[in-house]
Structure 1
Amino acid sequence: MKKGNTTLVCVTGQRDCDRLIRAGRKIADETSTSLQVLCVQPTSAGDESCEELEYLRQTARDAQAEMTVYFNDDAALIAVGFAKQIGAVHIVTGMPEAPVNGFVELIHKLLPKVPVSMVGKEGTIYNICPTGKKQQTVKLAMQN
Structure 2
Amino acid sequence: MDNKKAVLVCVTGQHDCDRLIHTGKYIAEKRGVPLQVLSIQSAGLGTRKECEELEYLRQVSKEADAEMTVYFNKEAAYTAAAFARQVGAVHIVTGMAENTSNGFIDVLHSLLPKVPISMVTKDNKIHNICPQNTECAPRMVRA
Q: Which runs of 5+ in 1 are unaligned?
A: none
Cα distance in 1, alignment partners of residues 85 and 15 from structure 2:
26
Mark the CA change 1:86 to 1:133 in structure 2 (over 3 Å): closer, same or farther: closer
Q: CA-to-partner distance for each residue in 1:26-49, whole Å, 9 max, x for gaps?
A: 000111110000000112542341
Tell me, yes or no, if the aligned pair for 2:116 and 2:135 is still in contact at 8 Å: no
State percent identity of aligned pairs.
53
Displacement of 1:4 in angstroms is 3.1
Q: CA-to-partner distance for each residue in 1:64-109, whole Å, 9 max, x for gaps?
A: 0000000111111100000011111100000122221010111111
Mark the CA change 1:122 to 1:82 in structure 2 (over 3 Å): closer, same or farther: same
Displacement of 1:137 in angstroms is 8.9
Q: TM-score by structure 1 length?
A: 0.89
Cα distance in 2, alignment partners of residues 135 and 30 from structure 1:
11
* Corresponding residue of 2:90: 89
Structural mapping, 1:35-46, within 5 Å: 35-43=35-43, 45-46=45-46
The alignment's C-alpha RMSD in Å is 2.1
Mark the CA change 1:3 to 1:44 in structure 2 (over 3 Å): closer, same or farther: same
Tell me, yes or no, if the aligned pair for 2:117 and 2:130 is still in contact at 8 Å: yes
Counterpart residue identity of residue 131, structure 2: P
* Corresponding residue of 2:21: 21
Tell me, yes or no, if the aligned pair for 1:118 and 1:125 is still in contact at 8 Å: yes
* Corresponding residue of 1:76: 77
Q: TM-score by structure 2 length?
A: 0.89
Counterpart residue identity of residue 104, structure 1: I
Tell me, yes or no, if the aligned pair for 1:41 and 1:72 is still in contact at 8 Å: yes
Tell me, yes or no, if the aligned pair for 1:91 and 1:117 is still in contact at 8 Å: yes
Q: Which runs of 5+ in 2 are unaligned?
A: none
Tell me, yes or no, if the aligned pair for 1:6 and 1:90 is still in contact at 8 Å: yes
Q: CA-to-partner distance for each residue in 1:91-140, whole Å, 9 max, x for gaps?
A: 00001222210101111111000000011111111110113558789456
**SS of alignment partner, residue 55 of structure 2:** helix
